[in-house]
Amino acid sequence: MDVASIRLTELSSCAGCAAKLGAAELRRVMESVSPATNDRVLVGYGGSDDAGVYLLREDLALVQTVDFFTPIVDDPYDFGRIAATNAFSDVYAMGGTPISALNIVAFPEDLDLAILARILEGGAAVARSAGVAVVGGHTIKDAEPKYGMAVSGLVDPNRIVTNAGALAGDALVLTKPLGTGVLTTARKRGAIADGDLVEAVNWMTTLNDRACEAMLAAGAHAATDVTGFGLLGHADNMARASSVRLLFNASAVPFMPRVLELIEAGMVPGGTRHNAETHDAFTTFSNSLPDAVRVGLSDAQTSGGLLISVAPENVDRLTNDLQESGALAAVIGQVREGAGIHVD
């Protein structure tokens, strides 16, 4: 088999974090499940946070998360890098430091194992750069290839950042541009070339470690990473958990090149369309907002940035630190009293 000729995205029905079960559907399922918990669980799944946190001792807690998905790009090595970066992001979003990981693999029997080796090499490369030890994993046979990691990290119990602490008056800061779902879908459909994905791949393989350091230094009140539910979906989780209303300035939200143009051309992932339909229930939009922007705000991201809620007096410190680290630092909205989301 000519490994280089295999297009991994053609083997999957939906790509990356767009493969997630919808937020509304997941919420209904979990409402019917009695949680297995105890008094050492500091953060469980009740608030739709990015990871769970378990108290080990008074000054130390364990952060745990798992994330895996189908190929979002054709290159196996890049797929592995993106999946690992995405899995570590949940720990960073909580203010923690990932320390170990387990590989999760589903792989077709008739696909060359050299492809799997390259996927795992990509994941290992990101783990090394993050200082994370890959200590094992689990594989199963599956018609669709899938890869990701179960990740453990550490956090100071007094410095946990959840999505539940946003306060009225806070500013909302985003650390990566939007559009990975649209761009990767356009590539899968042959509407753009591999070169048009370079920036998206660079962002998807950029760790959120420096953004985590910056938000901790700025005393962030709340944070979440932006992945499969799109900016508005993850913002809704923050608004619900914090009992606040979030206001977004659409003109300040950064999109990767060509994203809005491609949305207008119909290059919209199924997961993004589903998100947009769901988000209409809790979002009000300015009448002048272009349809492409409305859809883009719901685009299913993979390995996206952090959405951070920070006190107004600490915005400059946060944005300066982010810029010095090479991250994006877009002030895209504000927190207000009330409920729901509004986009101007």
Distance from the Cα of residue 31 to its chain's centroid: 23
d(CA 255, CA 309): 20
DSSP state of 143: S
Q: Is the pLDDT of residue 54 over 90?
A: yes
Nearest CA-CA partner of 245 in 288, 283, 292, 215: 283
The single residue of 6, 17, 250, 293 carrying the catalytic annotation is: 17
Whether 101 contacts 133, CB under 8 Å: yes
Please compute the mean of the pLDDT values over residues 295-321 and round it to a whole number.
98
Q: What is the mean pLDDT of the chain?
A: 93
**pLDDT score recorded for residue 111:** 95
Count of other CB atoms within 10 angstroms of residue 57:
8
pLDDT bucket at 27, cuts 50 / 70 / 90: low
Count of other CB atoms within 10 angstroms of residue 282:
16
> Residue 172: CB partners within 8 Å, gap ≥ 6?
235, 246, 248, 307, 308, 309, 331, 332, 333, 334, 335
**pLDDT score recorded for residue 49:** 87
pLDDT in tens, 130-179: 999 999 999 999 999 999 999 999 999 999 999 999 999 999 999 999 99
Backbone angle region of 219, left / alpha / beta, with phi > 0 → left and psi within -120 to 50 → alpha: left
Nearest CA-CA partner of 98 in 62, 59, 123: 62
d(CA 322, CA 210): 7
Q: Is the pLDDT of residue 6 over 90?
A: no
Tokens representing 172? 């909302």
**pLDDT score recorded for residue 48:** 79
Please state the pTM of the whole predicted model.
0.92
Count of other CB atoms within 10 angstroms of residue 190:
7
pLDDT in tens, 202-212: 999 999 999 99
pLDDT bucket at 263, cuts 50 / 70 / 90: very high
Please compute the mean of the pLDDT values over residues 28-52 and round it to a whole number.
81
Q: Is the pLDDT of residue 3 over 60?
A: no
17 is a catalytic site residue: yes
d(CA 304, CA 310): 19
Q: Is the pLDDT of residue 200 over 90?
A: yes
Residue 223: φ, ψ to 5°: -160, 160
**pLDDT score recorded for residue 176:** 98
Nearest CA-CA partner of 230 in 280, 166, 165, 164: 280
pLDDT in tens, 67-114: 999 999 999 999 999 999 999 999 999 999 999 999 999 999 999 999
Q: Is the pLDDT of residue 30 over 70?
A: no
Residue 88 C-beta-side C-alpha neighbours within 13 Å: 32
